[in-house]
Amino acid sequence: MVNNRRILLIIGGGIAAYKCLELIRRLRERGNRVRVVMTKAAQQFVTPLSVSALTNERVFTDLFDLDDEREIGHIRLSREADVVVVAPATADLMAKMALGLANDLASAVLLASDKAPVIAPAMNPRMWQNPATQRNVTQLKADGATFVGPETGEMAEAGEAGPGRLAEVPELIAAIERTTTAPASALTPGPLAGRHVVITSGPTHEPIDPVRYIANRSSGKQGHAIAEAAVKAGARVTLISGPVNIADPDGATCVHVETAAQMLAAVEAALPADIAIFCAAVADWRVANRGGQKIKKQKGAEVPRLELVPNPDILATIASLSKGRPGLVIGFAAETENILGHAQAKLRNKGCDWIVANDVSADSGIAGGVMGGDRNSVHLIKADGHQSWPEMGKDEVARALVEQMANSLGEDRRSSKRKPSATGKAGAK
């Protein structure tokens, strides 16, 4: 399990440098330590003070800093990092890298590094398309560098458009995480190694006709974050997702469905599992007789009436299995009032082991709201009590929940080892 990655970010000079502030914040939210080297040009766009405030680290700018170089600072910076990221990578900085120059701190660190860097170019389209730049890109790729972008679009300069925009922060993070994920054989087994975790995520769409449908508001961000955290904890993960607009998590087996009935069938097909987490916002009802053609609005005609029937209760169905029930069944409860009371009732009524409840009302206090947002504040309800967690990023909620799951399964394993054998004596054969 790769935790607490040490990331060295080298910020080149360019207007796109402002995106690095968001990149640093997102990397830190994921528990990474970020150190930053800034070129002289980068300091014209982003101040070292801003970067230092976000990293909670000193920012390195000078090759000939006496305090740093007394300890051979540029060597130490490169060797202590798990991954080196260059963003934005200017044409000048890439040229130095391709030629092996080392006339400032950034280029000296890159030349002294024993790791192939992640490079995110950003420059004017004509600079990117220049044959000299393309030769340097070819050389850097041959040397093992990973490139992210550039993207095509409008430039900061008026009237300029084309390839040269810095990749967006989620793409940069995905590339960094792929680079820092070691082969399974090189990893210490995670706390969920050998476990199969089934997770539902996103909404379901229940058709009214070929055009319209009934759905709940759900982005899938929390369920997908849990899947990602479980993969990093060493689990074999099956993610069953309704229609969402976010990428499948790396390392998970993903099954895409639309309706509640399809989701239940996919869950049943994925069993057996050690843990089942039902994070999806499943529509409670579907239309009894959906239209085969689009229902047309006719002037003066009576408003069509929709007869609704209950959808299958996926959580209750799996929690009540007499054979093949997962050892730990976790449900989610999105509530708008009496959060704890409704969640505790759901725990009893559904027969699951835990409920993760959150306030999705407009009064939740979370900027932008929970539904579709990146932050959450949840209560973890168990039969013997509950925990109220502070507001945090959905990825942090996911990591905390995975830790609780691993601890629970570990306690069950230890308890089973202490149980007496059939002879009535622990350890007797």
Residue 162 has pLDDT above 60, yes or no: yes
Phi and psi torsions of 166, nearest 5°: -65, 140
- Structure confidence by residue, pLDDT tens digits, 380-419: 999 988 898 888 888 889 999 999 999 888 766 555 555 5
Instruction: Indicate the SS3 state at residue 379.
Output: strand
pLDDT exceeds cutoff 80 at 161: no
Q: Which of helix, strand or coil describes residue 88?
A: strand
Q: What digits encode the pLDDT tens for the residues 333-362?
A: 988 788 899 999 999 999 999 999 988 876
Q: What is the pLDDT of residues 203-247, one digit of tens each?
A: 999 999 998 999 888 889 999 999 999 998 989 999 999 999 888
**Six-digit token string for 371:** 């539904």
Q: What per-residue confidence (pLDDT) applies to 168?
A: 86
Residue 72: what pLDDT? Answer: 45
Per the model's pLDDT, the better-predicted residue between 145 and 70 turns out to be 145
pLDDT digits (tens, 9 = 90+) for 112-134: 888 888 999 988 888 898 999 99
Catalytic residue among 32, 216, 358, 376: 216
Structure confidence at residue 77 (pLDDT): 78
pLDDT at 246: 86
Note whether 112 and 72 are within 8 A (CB): no
Indicate whether 180 pLDDT > 70: no
Please determine whether the domains at 6-179 and 189-287+306-416 fall in the same fold group of CATH.
yes
d(CA 151, CA 121): 9
SS3 223: helix
26-82 tens-digit pLDDT: 888 888 889 999 999 999 999 999 999 898 888 888 876 645 544 445 567 777 788
pLDDT tens sequence across 310-329? 999 999 999 999 999 999 99
Establish whether 216 is a catalytic residue. yes
Q: How far apart are CA 84 and CA 10, in angstroms?
A: 8
User: In the predicted model, is pLDDT for residue 21 greater than 60?
Assistant: yes
- What pLDDT sits at residue 67? 53
Domain 189-287+306-416 falls under CATH 3.40.190.10? no
Number of Cβ within a 10 Å radius of residue 421: 10
Name the more confident of 149 and 128: 128
CA distance 334 to 371: 9
Q: Which CATH number fits domain 6-179: 3.40.50.970, 3.40.50.1950, 3.40.1440.10, 3.30.70.270?
A: 3.40.50.1950
Which stretch of DSSP H or E encloses residue 117? none
Where do the structural domains in the chain lie, given as residue ranges? 6-179, 189-287+306-416
Give the pLDDT score at 28. Answer: 87
151 φ/ψ angles, rounded to the nearest 5 degrees = -90, 160
Residue 272 clears pLDDT 50, i.e. is over it: yes
Convert the pLDDT of each residue in 285-306 to its tens digit. Answer: 999 988 888 888 888 888 888 8
Checking if the pLDDT of 3 tops 60, the result is no
Integer-rounded Cα Rg, in Å, for the chain is: 26
421, pLDDT greater than 50: no
Strand, coil or helix: 298? coil
* pLDDT for res 158: 65
What is the rounded CA–CA span in Å between residue 357 and residue 123?
A: 46
Element (H, E) at 347: helix 339-350
